[in-house]
């Protein structure tokens, strides 16, 4: 018997879009509606019913050019991050807990934690690290002061000294520092570690207000104010390797 069913046909076409030239595969088949599919390798496939005009397919694609661009960009970033271990596939740390990053393209920029995910919304995946940096800095402003204030007040009541100022910034190698004038700097990376790590580093620098060295007297003071500081230091040394590098390498 003669089979009148049409066989699907496939052709490769090119279309000029606002984001640039797009090479896509057009497949005509017995389906009833137009559809678009984007693959992880960036390929775009348009599926159309038999008989539809190619001009209509092009119009359909143009109307969705922004959507196509966003998804191809996301796939490209995910592919690159798999090789480099960067923002998408890296574990992100906050106060000692780990979170997986989930990105959504949106004009509203936002970072929030939901369950075990760190959710980021911004227009372009290229802005994720910048947005994370801003969010971590804002969180540090709140967290550091909340943790530091009672510790500094307690230290002052007990030992009669307090820092002239307290600051935090990204440091490559040191967790903290104390100047001869009593200015204490903390590493912004401490926002990623368990809270006891921040308390340990701050106490270490506070002790330098009394002993500007690492003498036996210094460590006796550490033992007096934080008996378990040895175990916290071991954990912090382990995290030092994990958080080494610039913000783009860690965030």
Q: State how many domains the chain has.
A: 3
* Residues 236, 152 share a domain: yes
* Residues 246, 159 share a domain: yes
Using alpha carbons, select from 132, 127, 95 the residue that is nearest to residue 112. Answer: 132
* Residues 223, 128 share a domain: no
Q: Note down the domain range covering 230.
A: 147-250
User: Is 4 inside any structural domain?
Assistant: no
What is the H or E stretch that residue 239 is in?
helix 229-242
Q: What tens digit of pLDDT does each residue of 204-236 get?
A: 999 999 999 999 999 999 999 998 898 888 888
Given this model, what pLDDT does residue 141 score?
A: 92
Interatomic CA distance for residues 87 and 131, integer angstroms: 12
* Residues 31, 69 share a domain: yes
User: Is 176 inside any structural domain?
Assistant: yes
Interatomic CA distance for residues 222 and 139, integer angstroms: 27
* Residues 76, 122 share a domain: no
User: Is 139 inside any structural domain?
Assistant: no
Given this model, what pLDDT does residue 63 score?
A: 94
CATH number at residue 215: 3.30.2010.10
Which of the 8 DSSP states describes residue 189? G
User: Is 170 inside any structural domain?
Assistant: yes
User: Is 210 inside any structural domain?
Assistant: yes
* Residues 17, 36 share a domain: yes
The last residue of a domain, from among 58, 81, 104: 81
**Spatial CB neighbours of 154, under 8 Å, sequence gap ≥ 6:** none
Q: What is the pTM of this model?
A: 0.62
Model confidence at 186: pLDDT above 90: yes
Q: Could you tell me which residue, 184 or 235, shows the higher pLDDT? A: 184
Given this model, what pLDDT does residue 40 score?
A: 65
Q: What tens digit of pLDDT does each residue of 73-93 get?
A: 876 765 554 444 445 556 788
The last residue of a domain, from among 38, 61, 81: 81
Interatomic CA distance for residues 97 and 93, integer angstroms: 6
Interatomic CA distance for residues 246 and 130, integer angstroms: 12
User: Is 117 inside any structural domain?
Assistant: yes
Rg of the chain over all Cα atoms, to the nearest angstrom: 28
User: Is 73 inside any structural domain?
Assistant: yes
What is the H or E stretch that residue 205 is in?
helix 195-207
User: Is 140 inside any structural domain?
Assistant: no
* Residues 94, 51 share a domain: no
């Amino acid at each position: 018997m003669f089979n009148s069913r049409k066989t699907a046909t496939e052709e490769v076409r090119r279309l000029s879009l606002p984001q640039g030239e797009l090479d896509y595969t057009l497949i005509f088949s017995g389906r009833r509606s137009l559809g678009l599919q984007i693959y992880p390798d960036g390929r775009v496939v348009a599926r159309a019913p038999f008989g539809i005009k190619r001009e209509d397919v092009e119009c359909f694609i143009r109307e969705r050019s922004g959507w196509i661009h966003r998804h191809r960009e996301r796939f490209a970033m995910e592919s690159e991050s798999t090789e480099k271990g960067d923002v998408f596939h890296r574990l992100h740390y906050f106060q000692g807990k780990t979170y997986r990053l989930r990105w959504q393209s949106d004009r509203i920029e936002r970072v929030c934690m939901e369950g075990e995910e760190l959710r980021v919304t911004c227009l372009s995946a290229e802005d994720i690290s910048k947005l994370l940096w801003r969010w971590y800095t804002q969180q540090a402003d709140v967290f550091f002061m909340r943790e530091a204030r009672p510790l500094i007040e307690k230290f002052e009541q007990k030992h009669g000294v307090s820092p002239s100022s307290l600051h935090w910034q990204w440091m490559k190698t040191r967790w903290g520092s104390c100047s001869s004038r009593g200015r204490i700097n903390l590493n912004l990376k401490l926002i990623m570690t368990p809270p006891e790590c921040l308390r340990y580093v701050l106490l270490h620098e506070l002790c330098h207000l009394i002993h500007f060295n690492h003498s036996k007297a210094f460590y006796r003071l550490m033992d007096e104010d934080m008996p378990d500081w040895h175990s916290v230091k071991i954990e912090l040394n382990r995290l030092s390797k994990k958080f080494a590098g610039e913000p783009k390498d860690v965030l």
